[in-house]
Amino acid sequence: MLAYPEGVIELKSPNEIQQMRPAGKFVGDVLTALKEKAAVGVNLLELDELAHQMIREAGATSCYIDYHPSFGASPFGKVLCTSVNDAVLHGLPHDYTLQDGDLVSVDFAVALNGWVADSARSFVVGTPRPQDLRLIEATEVALTAGIEAAKVGGKLGDISWAIGEVAHEYGYSVNLDFGGHGVGRTMHGDPHVPNDGRKGRGLKLKAGLVIAIEPWFLETTDEIYTDPDGWTLRSQDGSRGAHSEHTVAITPDGPLILTARD
C-alpha cells in the first residue's frame, strides 16, 4: 500500500483493489435486493432486517451498527440508512410503513475480508411524482459525471466540479456539509470529496486512490437539520431529497466502479 507524500491518504495496489471487489459486489447485491423488497406496506425495519440477514450469511461486518461520530447522538444501532421523502442522509430505520409515492434513499456500507465498500441509491415506492424522478435522475447523472472525472492526473476539484455542474444544470443548489470520502480498511477516510468545487484545484488524483463519490441534492433548498432521533438529516423546508453513491478506484485504465449493480 503506497501513500501520498504527506502520509495521510493511502493508495491501494492493483492487488488490493482486486481484494476490494467482493465487498463492492456484496454491497451492490444488497442494494438490489433492498430495492426489490421495498414496496408499499413494507416497514423500514423489515428492510434493515433483510440487510442484517444478508450480512450474517456473507460473514461481513456492518460499518454502521456501532458507528458513533461526533455528529451522531449515539451509536447508530442499525445496518442501513433509510431516508424517506424530506430525509436525505443518515436516515435511522424506525417503525415506519412505506406509503405510495414515498421517495426512499438507502445507504449501505460493510467490511468484507477486511475491506470496506459503500454505496447508496434512491427510488420511489409505488406511484412516482415526476419531480422525484427528476431529482433522482440528477443525482445519478451527477454520479456518472463525477466518476468520469476520476482520472489519473486530474484533480479532486474536477470530480467536485463535475457533480456541481450537473446540480446547477438541473436547478438544484448544493450543500457542502457532507460529501464523498476515502474508502479502504475503514468507511471514512481522506480525502473529503465535496459535491461542488473548482475544476483543476485540489489533490492530484493518482492510481490506487479509492473514494466514495456521493452526490445528494434537495429539491428546493440546500439547508438541512437533524431529526430528534439524533441522526436523520432532513431538508429545512420539507422538500424531498435523493442520494446516489458508488465506491470507485482510480486506475491507470480509468475509474473502476467497485459497487456496480447488475
Q: What is the DSSP string of 78-103?
A: SS-EEEETTEEESPPP-S-B--TT-E
Residues in CB range of 204: below 8 A, 6 or more apart: 153, 154, 155, 156
Quick check: is 1 in a domain? no
Phi, psi of 137 (to 5 degrees): -55, -40
Query: Does the annotation place 90 within a ligand binding site?
Result: yes
- 3-class SS of residue 255: strand
Query: Does the annotation place 95 within a ligand binding site?
Result: no
Quick check: is 167 in a domain? yes
Quick check: is 84 in a domain? yes
Distance CA 2, CA 90 (A): 32
Burial class (CB in 10 A: 0-12, 13-18, 19+), 241: buried
Quick check: is 171 in a domain? yes
Provide the domain count of the chain: 1
Quick check: is 14 in a domain? yes
Quick check: is 262 in a domain? no
**Cell numbers 450537473 label which residue?**
166
For residue 65, how far is the Cα from the chain centroid? Answer: 16
CATH code assigned at 36 = 3.90.230.10
Quick check: is 74 in a domain? yes
Domain that holds residue 73: 6-257
Query: Does the annotation place 118 within a ligand binding site?
Result: yes
Query: Does the annotation place 219 within a ligand binding site?
Result: no
Quick check: is 146 in a domain? yes
pLDDT tens-digit profile, the chain (262 residues): 556 655 578 999 999 999 999 999 999 999 999 999 999 999 999 999 999 999 999 999 999 999 998 888 899 999 999 999 999 999 999 999 999 999 999 999 999 999 999 999 999 999 999 999 999 999 999 999 999 999 999 999 999 999 999 999 999 999 999 999 999 999 999 999 999 999 999 999 999 999 999 999 999 999 999 999 999 999 999 999 999 999 999 999 999 999 999 7
- Residue 52 burial (CB count, 10 A): 15
Phi, psi of 14 (to 5 degrees): -55, -40
Query: Does the annotation place 10 within a ligand binding site?
Result: no
